[in-house]
Amino acid sequence: MLREELDAGESAAIILATELGADLVLIDERAATRKARTLGLPVIGTLGVLLLGKRAELLAAIKPLLDSLRENDFSVSDSLYDQVLRDAGESDDAAPGAPQKG
């Protein structure tokens, strides 16, 4: 049934995560994210992984990575792009409590 609704890769990721009882499944596509959540799977996307890396101080900055993703046809709306940079503390109007530019 999943394979009828989603691409093969997304279906396989959800099936494997379910079988393994994964703590987290990496999915970026909106329909697949919704489906995984309806199955009780915790989901994170690429941008969430970048934010985790920044917060864990594994990444000095995520803006260059976001820019590279966009240049390589990774779809990120302007509003989401701005929000991620605010959450990472990499914009002039960073979210309260977010790490500041260094």
Q: Both 28 and 8 in a single domain?
A: yes
pLDDT of residue 102: 41
Residue 93 placed within a domain: no
| Overall pTM > 0.75 | yes
Q: Both 36 and 51 in a single domain?
A: no
Residue 100 placed within a domain: no
Length of the chain: 102
Burial call 48-66: b when 16+ CB within 10 Å, e when fewer: eebbeebeeeebeebbeeb
Residue 12 placed within a domain: yes
Q: Both 39 and 72 in a single domain?
A: no
Q: Which candidate, 44, 4, 26, places its Cα nearest to that of 14?
A: 26
pLDDT of residue 5: 80
Structure tokens at 46: 């690429």
Q: List the chain pLDDT tens, one digit each, 102 residues.
A: 676 788 888 999 999 999 999 999 999 999 999 999 999 999 999 999 999 999 999 999 999 999 999 999 999 999 999 999 999 999 876 444 444 444
Q: Which amino acid is at 101?
A: K
Q: Both 36 and 63 in a single domain?
A: no
Residue 95 placed within a domain: no
The total domain count for the chain is 2
The range of the structural domain enclosing residue 18 comes to: 2-44
